[in-house]
Amino acid sequence: MPKEKALFISGSVGLGHVTRDLAITRKLRNINPEIEVSWLACPPASTLIKDAGENLLPESDQWANDNVPLEKNVAEEFQVNLLKYLTSARGAWGQNAKVFEQVTSKEQFDLIIADEAYEISLALRKDRDRIEAPFVMIYDFIGCDSMSWNPLEKLLTYMWNRKIATNPAFYSDRRNTALLVGELEDVPDKGLGLFLPNRRTMAKETGQFIGYILQFDPSEYANKAETKANLGYDENPLIVCSIGGTAVGKDLLTQCGRAYTIARKQIPDLQMVLVCGPRLSPDSLEVPEGVDVRRYVPALYEHFAASDLAIVQAGGTTTIELTALRRPFLYFPLDGHFEQQIHVAGRLDRHQAGIKMQYSQTTPETLAEMIVSNIGKKVTYPTIPADGAQRAAELINQLF
């Protein structure tokens, strides 16, 4: 009997999506050991896929890298206009749609899984019959938001939300399935725009909520002292600072280094680790003596588990990991980034997790004050549903 074949497209920027995609795949193989998974992705996600021993298709070399327009054409000092990014990425999306058509024309797949690969879902809306296989789309949020009073931005927001408003019709086709990461309450209970549907109502009509996806069991990291020792840290207070998988948050790391010098006056044995990620060279940072600067750190969640405080950009995966680990953290949504400013921040507020910061109003002195007042602070975040990878794998396996 031939093995079942799945194509997994790990979209979006950074590393948060690919780590959860790999977690879903591991759970899927536990259910269906015979499944063959092939991948399409660009760096840095493609590096993690190869390191995991997965089958990265050679066509990935042609897959346009969404990180490039984000970092070069959109990002300014700790701010990203996500709508401007979506507009600038349309050329890359067209390229990726062609690669997708090339791959699916050459090889027959029994299932297509796309994690926020919007270019593929848009292409299939125009011509769903180009593939016969069931299509699964993984979403983080529903709806775009304007972050300014600029009329053009408001118009772009409305145009994007009109496209999103067609989701229920697209997913009424039984060949299409939407999996929504998180809980229904994470979706704002408000409309998409004038004469457009309510977001939460549409989310219920569109797909199934699977909870949050973690690549680890939080209970295994309950003993912070043991985790520290296993990673080679001493018992002194530890701060881990991370900007995720893009270079956009470079200025935040610089600010953390400046705050370290001030905070050490009150906490002389303070340790700080700056994690640049795969797309930012440590040599590009000027940091004070005593700060440990690293590039890419595999299993970064272990270092979060060892920390007495984390300072992070407001990535969805990073902040959920810290919430599940029950570690104190300061998070900085990128200015103008509606997902981080509204969706991620709203979810964290609902979970009473983390402290929201605003980069433009934060000085080294105020950041140092927040470090001193929050490091090692006991937190009481509620338990969150973190079995999303298992739930996703079960739902996906039913489609074969």
What are the backbone dihedrals phi and psi of residue 39, each rounded to the nearest 5 degrees, phi first? Answer: -125, 145
Which tens digits make up the pLDDT trace of 356-398? 999 999 999 999 999 999 999 999 999 999 999 999 999 999 9
306: in domain: yes
By CB atoms closer than 10 A (0-12, 13-18, 19+), residue 281 is: exposed
By CB atoms closer than 10 A (0-12, 13-18, 19+), residue 127 is: exposed
The Cα–Cα gap between 39 and 34 comes to 16
Do residues 311 and 208 both lie within one domain?
A: no
Do residues 157 and 245 both lie within one domain?
A: no
Q: What percent of the chain has pLDDT above 90?
A: 77
Question: What is the rounded radius of gyration, in angstroms, for the C-alpha atoms of the chain?
Answer: 21
Evaluate the CA torsion angle 211, 216, 222, 224 in order and state its sign.
negative
382: in domain: no
Do residues 204 and 72 both lie within one domain?
A: yes
Number of domains in the chain: 2
Do residues 235 and 349 both lie within one domain?
A: yes
Do residues 208 and 334 both lie within one domain?
A: no
Residue 336, domain CATH: 3.40.50.2000
Do residues 76 and 200 both lie within one domain?
A: yes
When pLDDT is averaged across residues 201-220 and rounded to a whole number, the result is: 95
Q: Residue 336: pLDDT band by 50, 70, 90 thresholds?
A: confident
Buried b (16+ CB within 10 A) or exposed e, 257-276: bbbbbbbbeebeebbbbbbb
11: in domain: yes
Which among 178, 223, 199, 221 is positioned nearest to 392, based on CA atoms?
178
When pLDDT is averaged across residues 287-312 and rounded to a whole number, the result is: 95
Do residues 208 and 235 both lie within one domain?
A: no
When pLDDT is averaged across residues 95-120 and rounded to a whole number, the result is: 94
What are the backbone dihedrals phi and psi of residue 251, each rounded to the nearest 5 degrees, phi first? Answer: -65, -30
379: in domain: no
280: in domain: yes
- Residue 314 in tokens: 């407001």
When pLDDT is averaged across residues 203-227 and rounded to a whole number, the result is: 95
Please, are residues 352 and 382 in contact by the beta-carbon 8 Å criterion? yes
Do residues 163 and 297 both lie within one domain?
A: no
The Cα–Cα gap between 275 and 242 comes to 5
pLDDT at 245 > cutoff 90: no
When pLDDT is averaged across residues 69-98 and rounded to a whole number, the result is: 69
381: in domain: no
Max mean pLDDT among 43-47, 247-251, 387-391 falls in: 387-391
Which range of residues forms the domain containing residue 329?
A: 218-374
Do residues 65 and 167 both lie within one domain?
A: yes
192: in domain: yes
Contacts of 208 (CB under 8 A, 6+ apart): 177, 178, 179, 180, 395
Do residues 185 and 45 both lie within one domain?
A: yes
Residue 69 has a pLDDT of 56
When pLDDT is averaged across residues 215-232 and rounded to a whole number, the result is: 95
The Cα–Cα gap between 112 and 103 comes to 11
49: in domain: yes
Do residues 190 and 234 both lie within one domain?
A: no
Do residues 308 and 225 both lie within one domain?
A: yes
Which among 175, 193, 330, 333 is positioned nearest to 263, based on CA atoms?
330
